[in-house]
């Protein structure tokens, strides 16, 4: 009885493993759809776009993978067809290089300004006190000294 139960459990696991593996897509076509931006839904990846055009483009990518085309070849064709709008980030060349250089330059410039201001304030002599000096009354000083002494 026990061996039948063990055999049944092993058979169930062996049948469930291929079904679980079938739920997880394999290959680069699904990665491409999750990485590239959709030309039909601005701000969404191709995988997240609910458009029927996006669905047909996802299917086209899967067919291209099944036909044996390389990922780079398919991505290049998509960029030629739809342009750089499908790129998740601008290219680091030409005008797209500004997307990387300008923020870095602003951060460096801001750090330089902060450092200069801190150095200026660190070297600046102490300003005179804003409160005017109070004339001391010798009698009042004597009374305070007597009270403090005891």
- Tell me, what CATH number does 35's domain have? 1.10.8.640
Q: How many CB atoms lie within 10 A of CB 45?
A: 17
Q: For the chain, report the end-to-end CA distance as a whole number of angstroms.
A: 100
In degrees to the nearest 10, what's the CA dihedral of 66, 57, 59, 45? 100
Together in a domain, 56 and 112? no
pLDDT band for position 150 (cuts 50, 70, 90): confident
Q: Is residue 114 domain-resident?
A: yes
Q: Is residue 108 domain-resident?
A: yes
Question: How distant is the alpha carbon of residue 26 from its chain centre?
Answer: 26
**What range does the domain containing 32 cover?**
2-88
pLDDT of 13-47, one tens digit each? 555 544 444 444 568 989 999 999 999 999 899 99
**Comparing 14-18, 30-34, 104-108, 133-137, which segment has the lowest mean pLDDT?**
14-18
What burial class does residue 128 get, using C-beta atoms within 10 Å of its C-beta: 0-12 exposed, 13-18 middle, 19+ buried?
A: exposed
In this predicted structure, what is the pLDDT of residue 92? 67
Is residue 39 helix, strand or coil? coil
pLDDT of 44-97, one tens digit each? 999 999 999 999 999 999 999 999 999 999 999 999 999 888 888 766 666 666
- Tally of structural domains, the chain: 2
- Whole-model pTM: value is 0.49
Contact (Cβ atoms closer than 8 angstroms) between residue 49 and residue 40: yes
Whether residue 104 is predicted with pLDDT greater than 60 in this model: the reply is: yes
Q: Is residue 83 domain-resident?
A: yes
Together in a domain, 42 and 83? yes
Distances (CA, A) of 53 to 23, 56, 62, 87: 24, 5, 14, 18
Shortest CA distance to 76 belongs to which of 56, 63, 94, 61? Answer: 61
Together in a domain, 74 and 16? yes
Q: Using the Cα atoms of residue 51, residue 59, residue 86 and residue 82 in order, give the sign of their dihedral.
A: negative
């Amino acid at each position: 009885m026990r061996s039948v139960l063990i055999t049944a459990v092993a058979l169930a696991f062996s049948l469930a493993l291929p079904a679980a593996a079938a739920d997880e897509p394999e290959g680069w076509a699904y990665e491409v759809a999750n990485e590239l931006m959709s030309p039909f839904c601005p701000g969404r990846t191709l995988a997240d776009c609910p458009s029927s055009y996006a669905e047909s483009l996802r299917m086209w990518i899967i067919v291209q993978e099944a036909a044996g085309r390389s990922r780079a070849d398919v991505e290049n064709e998509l960029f030629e067809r739809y342009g750089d709008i499908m790129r998740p980030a601008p290219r680091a060349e030409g005008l797209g290089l500004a997307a990387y250089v300008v923020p870095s330059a602003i951060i460096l410039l801001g750090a330089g300004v902060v450092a200069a201001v801190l150095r200026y304030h660190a070297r600046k002599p102490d300003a005179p006190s804003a409160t005017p000096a109070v004339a001391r009354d010798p009698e009042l000083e004597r009374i305070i000294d007597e009270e403090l002494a005891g």
